[in-house]
């Protein structure tokens, strides 16, 4: 292994610049109809359920935290006290490939229950994308071949590791924070209001 | 509440564009000496421990997953089987303000033990930043006043909710993925190699 | 290290028998007034929050799952979408010593907020026990000296490891499942009813 | 709903007494050959992986914590930095019915990889029990019909809720703590030694 102490950090800088460029292009070309549908679904939902495997699961949890701060009734699938999904709920499934087995399986159940399924994926033609009521497309290359997340993980199959450039997880985290920004604008909530609303304890 | 169905998504688009611009500027101005120090610390470490509260904790876990994929001995503070920290280990603490109580307290213990402490924060002059052996600065406004994360959370004090623009968590996730890109370049690991190295099970 | 292949498993058997004996004695001598108070608090609560560190946290989550199954509004402190605590909520803190720092700190905030605090501890005279509105005492020796859980963990201070005999975590898990049994009896819910109530999705 | 304030707590007391009786009988009749096999497997393993869904997963994590305290190389399947399983590892799957889909699927992969699979279940003739190299039987009625844990959970199918009596999770937690007690006896580790070994930080 080379001593890193004198690295010029070219890949470090390039990685951040490529991400910035990717996001800028994403902002220009996003399908805003899918965003409007997602916003309408969120406002209409009784409860919102977020699910994703691995790093997509972490991004989903970061989004769920913000929805909770805004006062929505929101749960992360797989956490301790998450209740059953009902017909009037919205389920948001996050998967770069749209083929992560556990997320596809749970998406199918959400559909059976009659709840509204939103997919956040890079692949609209994937199983998850095709099954969704609203399919949001995050631009980026499609990185894995699907299958079970924990199963691939147990085998050490990390094909979705990307050394450079566009990362589905970062793109989707930026997308989801932009959804939060739009939600706040629609709700007319200023930062100050949020603070007041939440710190007044009675 | 307005009907969102006809929103022009101005805040949505602006939020992504501001983030892209922020990242581009971050790439131009990053203190690369702190990155080189961090890379050297990671290569020299016996084990690497990552810690953060709330959304910063999620970002830390996304980084820890990648380090594990690359073959490093890495743990997330607070997970079930995370062992005790030892002198030759590196502890990476992530906190936008650098004042999150639990992270500051654990940073102090890491220092007492004699392990190397790396802070990832927007505030070099914070308690965590001042205490660190290597202080990495993520540009961005400083969003909270510190205190205990769970304690503020229990009180409903969500002052760090940002409706628009720079997000410490996204900036630090992009930074940490760029560190991974540089690690891969230094280690000479191609994506194909990674796959082979990990799927050959014996 | 001895080869274990021929062990007579004396400690294995003794450990289970001591636990059985301890539980039998616990059933005979439990302070039922504290149980009735806890039941009344649970029925009166708007929402129920459960918290504990380490293995006590796992026991708390097992209890929270059951409360959710029974239809209560329940959250685990520290999980992604757990909201802020309010005045009409009940907070249940689980700590063998009653001195685990994070739990004591959060208990203090619960008290400030004006919510009802129930402590589940082996030590009624502990900081958590003294501060609680309802103090449930789980018989057993007091195993640790308090302090911060993650802090002691980071230092490798595992003094609460008990080779034999009474375990606070098992005793409290049996206690909490017994509370569930009593809740079910009071609510008049048969197993069949539970099943029907939950699987009818509309 | 009846006012619980005057309940005699009959179900509460009965629940604890039944559990004590069940554990006493478990101690008398346990298949010690399976325990010896499990102990030998643990000592021979390069790394130990623990997995379970829902409350069984919590019990597995409580066991994994203790193994880590004793110095074993141990991981919980599904946590952030858990590496891939290799041939010389041991995988411990915990499932009351032995039919929980995710655990059965992961057990199959563990077998394919060539690692040693230990099942902890009430049903030796289950898919998981039949597939295991070492099948440990926890006495108790078999409570669920298998299927995917998260899938049943999403549907609100909580048939494994037991109002009274034997609980697989408590029985298996007591069993696993008894395995720890036997491990400590074999390793010749006194409580004092454990403390010293772990608190000397260099």
pLDDT score of D144: 47
pLDDT band at residue D166 using 50, 70 and 90 as cut-offs: low
Q: Which residues of C touch D158 (CB under 8 A)?
A: 69, 194-195, 198
D78 contacts A151? CB cut-off 8 A: no
Task: Tell me B100's DSSP state.
Answer: B
Find, in chain A, the residue whose alpha carbon is nearest to that of B187: A1
Mutate to test the interface with B, among D81, D111, D115 (most CBs of B within 10 A): D81
Of C16, C174, C175, nearest to D27 by CB-CB distance is C16
Q: Is A87 on the interface with C (CB under 8 A)?
A: yes
B155 contacts C113? CB cut-off 8 A: yes
Mutate to test the interface with B, among A1, A4, A25, A33 (most CBs of B within 10 A): A4
Q: Is D113 on the interface with B (CB under 8 A)?
A: yes
pLDDT score of C189: 62
Q: Which residues are paired to D94 by β-bridges? A: D52, D120
Q: Confirm if C79 and A61 have CB atoms less than 8 A apart.
A: no
Of the two residues C164 and D186, the one the predictor is more confident about is D186
Residues with Cβ within 8 Å of residue C118, at least 6 apart in sequence: C37, C38, C41, C90, C91, C92, C93, C132, C133, C134, C135, C136
To the nearest 10 degrees (0 to 180), the angle between helices C10-29 and D168-187 is 130
pLDDT score of D140: 81
D27 contacts C24? CB cut-off 8 A: no
Q: Which residues of B touch C153 (CB under 8 A)?
A: 82, 84
User: What CA–CA distance (Å, rounded) separates A126 from D87?
Assistant: 34
B178 contacts A173? CB cut-off 8 A: no
Of D79, D198, D202, nearest to B80 by CB-CB distance is D79
Find, in chain A, the residue whose alpha carbon is nearest to that of C83: A68
pLDDT score of D3: 57
CA angle D146–D149–D151, rounded 5-degree value: 105
Of D74, D81, D201, nearest to B74 by CB-CB distance is D81
Closest CA of chain D from B127, distance in Å: 24
Which run of H or of E encompasses A134? strand A134-137
pTM of the model: 0.89
Q: Is C110 on the interface with B (CB under 8 A)?
A: yes
Mean pLDDT by 10 residues, chain B (202 residues): 73 94 95 97 97 96 94 95 96 96 95 97 96 95 61 71 70 96 83 46 28
Q: Is B74 on the interface with D (CB under 8 A)?
A: yes
Residues with Cβ within 8 Å of residue C7, at least 6 apart in sequence: D36, D39, D182, D185, D186
Q: Which residues of C touch D39 (CB under 8 A)?
A: 4-5, 7
pLDDT score of A152: 76
C158 contacts D69? CB cut-off 8 A: yes
Of A46, A169, A182, A191, which one is the catalytic site residue? A169
How many percent of chain A have pLDDT more than 70? Answer: 82
How many percent of chain D have pLDDT more than 70? Answer: 82
Q: Is A155 on the interface with B (CB under 8 A)?
A: yes
Q: Is B85 on the interface with C (CB under 8 A)?
A: yes
The architecture of the domain spanning B29-189 is: 3-Layer(aba) Sandwich (3.40)
Closest CA of chain C from D202, distance in Å: 11
A135-144 pLDDT, tens digit each: 999 998 644 4
Residues with Cβ within 8 Å of residue D146, at least 6 apart in sequence: D97, D98, D99, D100, D101, D104, D126, D127
D82-132 pLDDT, tens digit each: 999 999 999 999 999 999 999 999 999 999 999 999 999 999 999 999 999
In this structure, is the dihedral angle defined by the CA atoms of residues B178, B184, A123 and D78, taken in order, positive or negative?
negative
With b for 16 or more beta-carbon neighbours within 10 A and e for fewer, the D94-122 pattern comes to: bbbbbbbbbbbbbbebbeebebbbbbbbb
Q: Which residues of B touch D65 (CB under 8 A)?
A: 80-81
To the nearest 10 degrees (0 to 180), the angle between helices A54-69 and A168-187 is 10
Q: Which residues are paired to A119 by β-bridges? A: A93, A135
B83 contacts C151? CB cut-off 8 A: no
How many percent of chain D have pLDDT more than 90? Answer: 73
C182 contacts D5? CB cut-off 8 A: no
Report the complex ipTM.
Answer: 0.88
Chain mean pLDDT for chain A: 87
Neighbour count for residue B83 (Cβ, 10 Å): 19
User: What CA–CA distance (Å, rounded) separates B104 from B76?
Assistant: 16
pLDDT per residue rounded down to tens, chain C (202 residues)? 445 668 899 999 999 999 999 999 999 999 999 999 999 999 999 999 999 999 999 999 999 999 999 999 999 999 999 999 999 999 999 999 999 999 999 999 999 999 999 999 999 999 999 999 999 999 986 444 556 777 877 887 765 455 554 589 999 999 999 999 999 889 876 554 554 444 333 2
Lowest-pLDDT range of A157-171, B17-31, C35-49, D179-193? A157-171
Q: Which residues of D touch B197 (CB under 8 A)?
A: none
User: What CA–CA distance (Å, rounded) separates C7 from D32?
Assistant: 9
User: What CA–CA distance (Å, rounded) separates C59 from D177?
Assistant: 14
Lowest-pLDDT range of A185-199, C158-172, D13-27, D161-175? A185-199
A191 included as an active-site residue: no
Q: Token digits for D139? A: 């006495």
Which chains reach chain B with 3 or more Cβ–Cβ distances below 8 angstroms?
Answer: A, C, D
A84 contacts D150? CB cut-off 8 A: no
Section A181-191 average pLDDT? 80
Listed in order, strand segments (DSSP E) in C31-104 are 48-52, 74-76, 90-94
């Amino acid at each position: 292994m080379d001593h890193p102490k004198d690295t010029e950090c070219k890949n470090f800088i390039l990685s951040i610049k490529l991400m910035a460029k990717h996001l800028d292009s994403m902002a220009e070309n996003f399908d805003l109809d899918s965003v409007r549908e997602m916003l309408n679904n969120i406002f209409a939902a009784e409860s919102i359920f977020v699910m994703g495997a691995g790093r997509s699961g972490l991004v989903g949890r970061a989004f769920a935290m913000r929805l909770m701060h805004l006062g929505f009734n929101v749960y992360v699938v797989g956490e301790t006290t998450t209740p059953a999904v009902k017909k009037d709920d919205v389920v948001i499934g996050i998967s770069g490939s749209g083929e992560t087995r556990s997320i596809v399986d749970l998406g199918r159940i959400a559909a059976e229950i009659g709840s509204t399924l939103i997919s956040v994926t890079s692949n609209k033609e994937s199983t998850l994308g095709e099954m969704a009521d609203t399919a949001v497309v995050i631009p980026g290359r499609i990185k894995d071949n699907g299958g079970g997340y924990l199963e691939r993980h147990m085998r050490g199959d990390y094909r979705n590791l990307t050394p450079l450039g566009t990362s589905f997880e970062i793109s989707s985290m930026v997308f989801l924070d932009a959804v939060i920004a739009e939600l706040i604008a629609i709700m007319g909530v200023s930062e100050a209001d949020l603070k007041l609303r939440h710190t007044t304890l009675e």
